[in-house]
Amino acid sequence: MKKLMLAVLILAIAASLGAQGTAPKAKLPDLKGKTIVAVTENAYMPLNFVDAKTGKTMGWEYDAVDEIGKRLNAKIVWKITSWDTMIQAIRDGQFDVGMDGITITDERKGQVDFSAPYMVSQQFMLVRADENRFSDEKAFGANPKLLIGAQAGTTNFYVAVYNVLDGDEANPRIKLFETFGASVQALISGDVDMVLMDATSSKGYIGAYPNKLKSVGGPLGTEEFGFIFQKGSDLVGPFNAAISALKAEGFLDKLNTKWFFEYKP
């Protein structure tokens, strides 16, 4: 199962980045020292989180955006907010750019502008390591005693509703939590029986709890992650140029290796 999950993760990364070479650094827009206020949640390992050993904030998205700031000659200032307020806060102009493994959807495009995708991921079933009552979404859905932990308004929530259960968003089999981390702790403690997460985050939690968690079943959907901006933001173009350059140079490949394969919580 670990080898299968690793293979799927590699495929997802390859799909998002394409074949990378060793292209020279591209000439990018110069933002002349502009301050960019970036916001995240710090609850989505390994994209953004607080390291338990050091207490420092870190993750794939931190590294990527800090590098984008350097390339664009901009100063990145980091802020924290909850997931359920992030999109509205960006829409209202409280922050310049937001990120939290945010799936690009048509509905969200009506509220904010998205960057080009920086990652492609798929949804998987995260379960306790000793789970043997089900091995795929059909078996899970057929057992009315089994519960799902989810964060309201996320892709994971909607995949749980429409791909695993009966399409009823008020289904009592879904228990809502404020963060992904809280839903995982509920899974470990036995309060729920499954949490849906993209492969990147699932791998992070399995690495953090290697004897307590595993992934079962196949991918339930494919999603693209993008940074979000207020409608009409003049940062979208520069960020897209930087994302394209970092892909072409292989920098994002290095981040994938660092955070998905080398990092040990």
CA distance 252 to 120: 12
For 154, the 3-state DSSP assignment is coil
Handedness of CA 120, 152, 176, 46 (dihedral sign): positive
Q: Say whether pLDDT at 11 is over 80.
A: no
Of 124, 155, 153, 154, the residue nearest 140 (C-alpha): 124
AA letter at 41: E
For 67, the 3-state DSSP assignment is helix
AA letter at 161: V
pTM: 0.69
What value does the mean pLDDT take over residues 29-44?
A: 96
For 253, the 3-state DSSP assignment is helix
pLDDT in tens, 110-149: 999 999 999 987 889 999 999 999 999 999 999 999 999 9
| Beta strand 74-80 pairing with 174-177 | unpaired
Structural tokens at position 84? 């359920």
Domains of the chain listed by start with CATH number = 23-118+226-249 (3.40.190.10), 121-222 (3.40.190.10)
